[in-house]
Amino acid sequence: MKKLIIIVMGMLIAGCATSDKALLKAVKEKAPTSANAYIVFDSAFVKVKEDGSYIKRTHALIKILTMKGKADFGSPSFSYTTKYGKVQVKKARVIKKDGKIINVKKDNIKDIKVPAFGKFFLPNVRMVKIVYPTVERGDAIEYVVEEVITNPPMEGEFDDMVFFEETEPIGTKYYEITLPQDLYYRVYNDKEGAIKFHKNGKKYVWYANNIAPIVREPAMPPLEDVSKKLLLSTVKSWKTWSKWYWNLTKDKFSVNDTMKALIDSLLSDKRSRIDSIKALFYYVSNKIRYVATTMNGKKAGYEPFPAQKTFRQKYGVCRDKAALLVAMLRYIGIDAYPVLTNPMIRVEREIKTDQFNHAIVAIKDKNGYTYLDPTAEDIPVFLPISEQGRGVLVSTPWGEDLSYIKTLPPEDNDVFVLMDMSLDTLGNMHGKMTMKGSIIDQFFRMMVKKIPPEQLKSMFASSIASLGNEASLDTIYYTDPDDFTKPFNMTMEYTVKGFAMKSKDKYVFNIGGGAININGRDPFSLDKRHYPVYFGVPMSNKSSIFVHLPRGYVIKGGPDTMTVDNKYIHYSLNIEHQKDGIVLTSNMTYKKSLIPAKDYKNTRELHNKWLKNLKTNFILERQKRR
Amino acid sequence: MFTFLLITLVSLNLNSADCLIEKDSTEITKTEEGYVSTYRLLKLKILNTRGRDRCGDIRVRYNKKSQKFHIINAYTLLPDGKKVPVEKDAIMDVGSPEAAIAPEYTQRIIKAVSFPALQKDAEIVYEYKIESKKKDKEPLFGTVFFKGQNPIKKKVFIIKVPEEEHIYFKKVNGGNINIHVDTTKEGISYVFMAEDVERLPREDFLPSMREIAPFIDYTEFKNKDDMAAYIYSKFKDKIETGKEIKKLASKLWDKDPEKTFYNIIKYVQENIQNINLFLWDAGIEPHKASWTLKHKYGDVRDKTVLALSLMKASGISGDILLVEGRRGSYYASVGLSSVLSLAKTEQLPVLSHYTTMIIRAHIKDTTVYASVMDKYSNVRYLPSSLQHRPCFSFMNGKGNYFRTPLYPEKDNTLKMKLEGKLDKDGSFKGTCHIKAKGSYAATLRERFRFKKQKEIKIMLDDLVSAFGEGSKMDSFKLYNIKSRENLPELVVYITSPNFANVNNTIQFTLPSTFFTMRYASTKDRKLPLWLGVPRTIEYNANIRFVENASPFVLPDSVRLKGEYNEVESNMAFSNNTLSFHSLYSIHAQEVPKEGYANFRKIEGIFYSRNQRSVILNAK
């Protein structure tokens, strides 16, 4: 019976078997409220051949509910890389709410070059765009689009990643694949078992009905890490991918005489192995600019330019910079390899699907692999903090398994703030704040190189603007951002008029702080969460603040010394009263990369307790004369 | 010593610059047959890694169907004098953003060139020519800026036309631009040149380039009527009242012409999908009103023509206005960042000044304005970016320059009222009621209109976290978010268990106003501050205390009045109730640098947490 239902559903959804009457009925059915569009169905039918070439036929029907829905779905586009295949629109129609069907004319289906975006100029990537005319609220758009891949990235193999959740509700999501090869697959993030599966010989089907939209929460993990998804691949082992990429890159590592001369000059005063590695890493990361141009070779998007070309041009995208660094390191006898990774999402280990979007470098020694990202400009270490914990696949002739970069403890991902504040008798404050630590060393070093000084000043002026009636950034200075041998630190000096409220013989002021924001949003703002709070990496923020009080005044109230702690956070505040002021020492440590939703409530309570204490104002009173 | 001093005096200040434009020379030539070509030579010196990253890839728009693009020279000149040519695969035709948005409107593409071997003190040399494949009957017009974000050593702009043709030009906003006109056998050459031009400072909230940078306007239109006649000739046949238009007009008709106008504008705004191109991205000539109505999408030209056609069919008189929006288009002939916008001088008829269009209607002896592309403002309210902008009317071939209206402060207000009670533990329960008008109404709709209920809940939970840790949004009401006739309101019911700290004292700070922003964070400015439109923000709070309390520290009352803004703020405590009142008004669209310090002082008072903080004795 189950088998029969699935076959009927497949037939219904398949373009060939979906009658206009059935479509119209689907369009007329009540759509969920509070949505901009309703994806009545979204189906894919994939037929893979022995050589890995395939045709993926996508058939979708989307009901437009608002003008935003029309803007979001009214002109869908499908991109493709000319080196691998093409995209063809087989059917594109508007199904009006009154039942009338309007075919989209050929003129409204355009095959165009993808636009340049940021540092990416990709002349061999195109997109097919369907512009639906006459669409009004309540109408639906329908398309059948075929992706025809004749030259797959890995010959004889197929892999895919299919998401079963969107930001709009879905009636039915259906994925069917027929292939001669063995298939490995797994569904992720579907505890409730919403995604059903059926297999019939070499045909595999997954489907789900009535899928609620994803609602984003502040500081949640990337959508790809938490949404229901299906990973499938014919590739049995990560070693296959590893060897495949090695074979694609191994001929790119030759160095010419100019390169040799440059390497020799860079290393002329370097006495140790690590100093030599650093010198080559800093050269590639800082002297070779990041830009993506025409995608090279038969395996466009994967295959790097030869190291000699990248060296000559002095630019390249991640894979080009990685190949150049590998070439330079190998030339001096360092055992270096290119690495595939993804700094944005979790790479799932179980199914050997291409989940990579970035290339870096690994150096092998007796202790294992050390990773270097030569696209990370202006940082003193080999890897940016954001790449800790990420999945990596080292490409070698013998093949490697997927592994994960070590995540450093919070004290190694730190910010340290040293403040010296002087309060005068008018309630004004003169402050000096020095920031240092590994996070500052990476982000601020990069900021001062990339952002023009006047914009930098404006950014920091905005950050102190709310401290009082009139906060002014007087000066900002920092250590040499190009000197990677010394830790980087930045100092701001500022004046805040009306920092303290004055009332008769009292002053009241607040030091502030204690809050955390991730991408500008408070991760603890929600009462309940569906998704974890995601910090990216464990980290700590320590500060030491000395507040010089006006002569003759004493503290009559303020926050208490306090510590809160659980599995995920450790916060402590120590207040020490001294002769002419107070010293506040604080530590906010996030012990893990994320707080799971089940432990959110308890952690939020601790966080709130901490904030409440910090919110208490300091009250100063004039000391009575004896 | 003398020589050194002289060099120092004439050298450009390169601080904060990314690159030095050593030479930027452009020559536009129009032949007797009507072929137009643009030649350009650009030499840029890279000053630092920012310059390498920002200037290393040069993009030029062109139309592959109607133009030929020849690269004459493209190489990097290293500091040691060695030339490194651009490699073939680094010269790329890629899509333009506007073609990706609307490929059915424009096929414009970008010629992108990535320069090799860039390092400090290397020089980019780029020389190219764009030629029209066929005769171009359109008149020449444009704007050339002689100042930008990087210093310029030498900038030259030349227009060559046949002898019988004439170019009108005007220098605006000063600048040391030398001009001379030569008549030769080939025709007339207009040469504009400037040397040693300092860069514009990078400051937040700047007025448009046309207000702060020197530029040359040039045009082949003889006068405003000539330009009006030209545009009108492209538009007049597109405004039509055929069967389908009349049918729709009758559906939208109401005995009250104001209501009819509302219905028409709202229909065009909400039922015809916006194709978000700049005004002339897809050429001058719009689609016919019936085409736009049938296809249910259109750019600003198409949608405005449809709206006017529906008005005409309903007996509402009105016209189309070309408006200089604050943001520009890609239409400028030259310039590394070729963005056009507002001109202070309005006398030269240059079509590329105008970046958008609006509708003007005359109803019951009043004149009303509407933007057909706007989705969030009240229907008859012009978005702030379109208020008090230079505009041009062209209907019936008669040209006229004037400005769009600037609505007074009372039409652009945000009122926030906080009411509730505070219990003995410092927990607050109450409401926050926000009423918005004008641009604030648009902001409120933009935030909430297309959000799902769950998304709104998360947004408001986020918002009420300003009431203290652990705050919770119990429920909310949104009014007139979809309706564009009445004013939107938001009421949020809040429980905040940690609103106040209570021990011997009761301490809390009222949250800042929502949906407002401050403009003046830096200590000083070199250029004027752009504020948008005049406005008023009113903030009132009434908090009843369950337990008896008495004032310990309350902020002093403040009243400060300046030329550009003013503030008053009072807090009082009596009968166990805390009352707070704060009123902040911005009177101007723009603050000159001389008035900035006082503006900043007043703004600082309004946003200062000290004005909203209170300490009471707990009894």
Determine contact: B555 vs chain A, CB below 8 A: yes
User: Of B411, B376, B435, nearest to B535 (Cα)?
Assistant: B411
Identify the H or E element spanning A260: helix A257-267
Asked if the model's pLDDT at residue B344 lies above 90, the reply is: no
- Model pLDDT, residue B327: 59
Q: With CB atoms and an 8 Å threshold, state whether B461 touches A114.
A: no
Q: Are strands A594-595 and A533-534 parallel, antiparallel or unpaired?
A: antiparallel
Indicate the CATH number of A411-622 among 2.30.30.40, 1.10.760.10, 1.10.10.10, 2.60.120.1130.
2.60.120.1130
Cβ pair B69, B111 in contact under 8 A: yes
Q: Tell me: the pLDDT tens digits for A525-578?
A: 999 999 999 999 999 999 999 999 998 888 888 999 999 999 999 999 999 998
Tokens of A249: 């890159």
Residue B332: pLDDT band with limits 50, 70, 90:
very low
Do B613 and A508 lie within an 8 Å CB cutoff?
yes
Cβ atoms of B301 and B289 within 8 Å: the answer is no
The answer, yes or no, to whether residue B464 has pLDDT greater than 50, is yes
| Residue showing tokens 């003169």 | A430
B297 touches chain A (CB under 8 A): yes
C-alpha B579/C-alpha A145 separation (Å) is 63
Hey, are the CB atoms on A469 and B92 less than 8 Å from each other? no
Q: Chain A contact for B110, CB < 8 A?
A: yes
Residue B150: CB atoms within 10 Å: 25
B94 interface with A at CB cutoff 8 Å: yes
Q: What is the pLDDT of residues A446-469, one digit of tens each?
A: 999 999 988 899 999 988 887 888
**Hey, are the CB atoms on B294 and A133 less than 8 Å from each other?**
yes
Q: Which of residues 50-69 of B touch A (CB under 8 A)?
A: 50, 52-53, 56-57, 59
A96: CB partners within 8 A, 6+ apart: A102, A134, A136, A139
Helix (H) or strand (E) holding A540: strand A539-548
Listing DSSP states for A79-112 in one string gives: EEETTTEEEEEEEEEEE-TTS-EEEPPGGGEEEE
State chain B's maximal CA–CA distance in angstroms. Answer: 97
Query: Which positions in chain B touch A121 (Cβ < 8 Å)?
Result: 57, 92, 94, 112, 114
Compute how many other C-beta atoms are within 10 angstroms of the C-beta atom of residue A224: 17
Q: Which of A453, A427, A424, A117 is nearest to B608 (CA)?
A: A427
- Shortest Cα–Cα distance, A402 to chain B (Å): 34
- Residue contact B452–A314, C-beta within 8 A: no
d(CA A250, CA A243): 10
Q: Which residues of B touch A462 (CB under 8 A)?
A: 521
Question: Is pLDDT of B336 > 80?
Answer: no
Q: Report yes or no: B100 at the A interface, CB cutoff 8 Å.
A: yes
A247/chain B closest Cα distance in angstroms: 23
Within 8 A of A503 by CB-CB distance, chain B residues are 552-554
B334 falls in which pLDDT band (50, 70, 90)?
A: very low
Percentage, residues of chain B above pLDDT 90 = 76
B202 in contact with chain A, both atoms CB, cutoff 8 A: yes
Enter the DSSP assignment of B207.
P
Fold of A240-404: C8orf32 fold (3.10.620)
Nearest Cα residue in chain A from B500:
A612
Going from the C-alpha of A426 to that of each of A366, A450, A500, A555, B276, the distances in angstroms are: 64, 39, 8, 16, 53
User: Residues of A with CB below 8 A from B607's CB?
Assistant: 465-466
Beta bridge partners of A422: A430, A548
Q: Could you tell me which residues come within 8 angstroms of residue B13 by beta carbon, excluding any fewer than 6 positions away?
A: B151, B198, B199
Contact B118 A452 (CB under 8 A): no
Choose from A470, A507, A519 for mutation: most chain B CBs within 10 A.
A470
The answer to whether residues A176 and A46 touch, using CB atoms and an 8 Å cutoff, is yes
Contacts of residue B309, Cβ cutoff 8 Å, sequence gap at least 6 = B239, B240, B241, B245, B289
pLDDT digits (tens, 9 = 90+) for B247-290: 999 999 999 999 999 999 999 999 999 998 888 888 889 999 99
Does residue B516 belong to the interface with chain A, where contact is any CB pair within 8 Å? no
Per-residue pLDDT tens over the stretch B218-242? 999 999 999 999 999 999 999 999 9
DSSP string, B135-204: ---SPPEEEEES--SS-EEEEEEEEEE-TT---EEEEES----EEEEEE-SS-EEEEEEEEEEPPPP--S
CB contact under 8 A, B604 and A127: no
Which residues of B fall within a CB distance of 8 Å from A70? 273
Instruction: Give chain B's mean pLDDT.
Output: 91
What is the arithmetic mean of pLDDT over A59-66?
Answer: 96
In B, minimum Cα distance to A215 occurs at B455
The domain defined by A2-234 folds into Immunoglobulin-like (2.60.40)
Q: Residue B335, SS3?
A: coil
**pLDDT grade, residue A502 (50/70/90)?**
confident
Q: Which residues in chain B have their CB less than 8 angstroms from residue A287's CB?
A: 119
Residue B187 scores a pLDDT above 50: yes
The residue behind tokens 């594109």 is A92
Contact B141, B162 (CB under 8 A): no
**Tens digit of each residue's pLDDT (9 = 90 or more) over A382-400:** 999 999 999 999 999 999 9
Q: Place A49 in a pLDDT band, splitting at 50, 70 and 90.
A: very high
pLDDT band at A2 (very low <50, low <70, confident <90, very high): very low
Chain B 436-465, residues with CB within 8 Å of chain A CB atoms:
449-450, 452-455, 458, 461-462, 465
Q: Which residues of B touch A289 (CB under 8 A)?
A: 49, 52-53, 56, 118
Model ipTM?
0.91
Q: State how far residue B180 is from chain A, nearest Cα, in angstroms.
A: 36
pLDDT score of B584 more than 70: yes
Provide CB contacts within 8 A for A445, sequence distance 6+. A378, A379, A380, A481, A488
Cα–Cα distance list, A436 to A407, A413, A462, A486, B350 (Å): 20, 11, 20, 11, 53
**Does B270 lie at the interface with A, CB-CB under 8 angstroms?**
yes
The backbone torsions φ and ψ at residue A541, rounded to the nearest 5 degrees and listed phi first, read -130, 110
Does the pLDDT of residue B578 top 80, yes or no?
A: yes
Nearest residue of B to residue A113, measured between CA atoms: B95
pLDDT in tens, A116-160: 888 888 888 999 999 999 999 999 999 999 999 999 999 999 999
- With an 8 Å Cβ cutoff, is B474 touching chain A? no
By CA distance, what is B452's nearest residue in A? A34
Contact flag B53-A612 (C-beta cutoff 8 Å): no
* Residue scoring higher pLDDT (B313 or B136): B313
* Chain A residue with minimum CA distance to B613: A501
What is the Cβ-side half-sphere exposure of residue A225, based on CA atoms within 13 angstroms? 19
Residue A221 confidence (pLDDT) = 96
Across B505-534, average pLDDT: 93
Q: Has residue A331 got a pLDDT over 90?
A: yes
Judged on CB neighbours under 10 Å (0-12, 13-18, 19+), A230 is buried
Amino acid at B63: N
Q: Looking at the complex, does the CB of residue B164 fall below 8 Å from at least one CB of chain A?
A: no
Residues on chain B touching A620 (C-beta within 8 angstroms): none
**Interface probe, candidates A493, A501, A511, chain B, greatest B C-beta count within 10 A:** A501
DSSP per residue over B505-565, as a string? EEEEEPPPPTT------SS--SSPEE--S-EEEEEEEEEEESS-EEEEE-PPPEEEE-SSE
Distance CA B467, CA A93 (A): 50
State the Cα–Cα distance between residues A441 and B248, nearest whole angstrom: 63
Our CA-based measurement puts residue A464 at a distance from the nearest CA of chain B, in whole angstroms, of 8
Domain boundaries, chain A: 2-234, 240-404, 411-622
Q: Which domains does chain B have, with CATH numbers?
A: 18-221 (2.60.40.3140), 227-407 (3.10.620.30), 410-618 (2.60.120.1130)
Residues in chain B: 619
pLDDT given at position A9: 52
Interchain proximity A314–B118, CB inside 8 Å: yes
The pLDDT, as a whole number, for residue A414 is 96
Strands B549-553 and B613-618: antiparallel
Check pLDDT > 70 for residue A330. Answer: yes
Cβ–Cβ < 8 Å for A47, A178: yes
Q: What's the mean pLDDT in B363-380?
A: 92
B90 and A294 within 8 Å at the Cβ level: the answer is: yes
